[in-house]
Amino acid sequence: MTTEQLSPTARTTPTRGRNRQVDDRQRLMALLSDALVAHLGVVAGAHPVVLPTAFGVDESGPDDGGTLYLHGSVAAGWLGPALEQDVCVTVTELDGLVLARTGFHHSMNYRSAVVIGRPRLVSDAEERCRALDLVVDHMLPGRSATLRPATRKELAATVVIALPLAEASMKQRAGGATLEPGDLELTGWAGQVPVRRVASEPVTEDYVSEPVPEIVLRRAAELGRG
């Protein structure tokens, strides 16, 4: 069940900078669509680990609030602990550096999301294949349809976990630096440095004779626009 509003729990409700809290679930989905890397945080044994990972999103389910899919090796050390406890996944997009006249008010413009919940192991064969296709298509929309199906060996070596998007929150900062009384009387430059991701032209492998597919060129152009 997907709701239009984000309803953070006590664990995901911001305690600072609440004016930056985003309540519109579609803005969360837009951030997840834009971002390419998520970070999975889990306590593995005696210490926490935070791991960067590719991901896929199914906004319409099957989990409450939609589903975030992560994948990894069946031999990964984080897998067992991740299925036995709640985990935290974060996604951040940096949009700019904010340079004030005082060090205290230097900041960054960003969009960030926090998702907390108990992941489940995806064991259904059809859902696993679809989840892996979503991860591939998140990097390059339409790519999975052009590839051969995964082999039994590849599937046996890969684990997929699903995290509900029900318990999620998002914050966003935009605009210039905060001013304190008297800051206008100070000297020195202040402003913003916009930051965006830029993709270069696709580079074809030496063993490939085919031209670069249109969907690859289109994706590179989209990323290049930031």
Q: What pLDDT sits at residue 125?
A: 94
Would the pLDDT of 218 be above 80?
yes
Distance set, CA 102 to CA 94, 97, 193 (Å) = 21, 14, 16
Confidence category of residue 106, pLDDT binned at 50, 70, 90:
very high
Would the pLDDT of 189 be above 70?
yes
- Token pair listed for 119: 């992941």
Q: What pLDDT sits at residue 18?
A: 77
Q: Mean pLDDT across the chain, nearest whole number?
A: 92
Q: What pLDDT sits at residue 1?
A: 41
pTM of the model: 0.90
Q: Look up residue 137 and give its amino acid.
A: D
Evaluate whether 97 touches 88 at the Cβ level (below 8 Å). no
Q: What pLDDT sits at residue 17?
A: 73
Burial of 205 per CB tally in 10 Å (0-12, 13-18, 19+) = exposed
Tell me the torsion sign for CA atoms 24, 30, 35, 36: positive
Mean pLDDT confidence for 41-59: 94
Confidence category of residue 192, pLDDT binned at 50, 70, 90:
very high
Q: Look up residue 135 and give its amino acid.
A: V
Confidence category of residue 2, pLDDT binned at 50, 70, 90:
very low
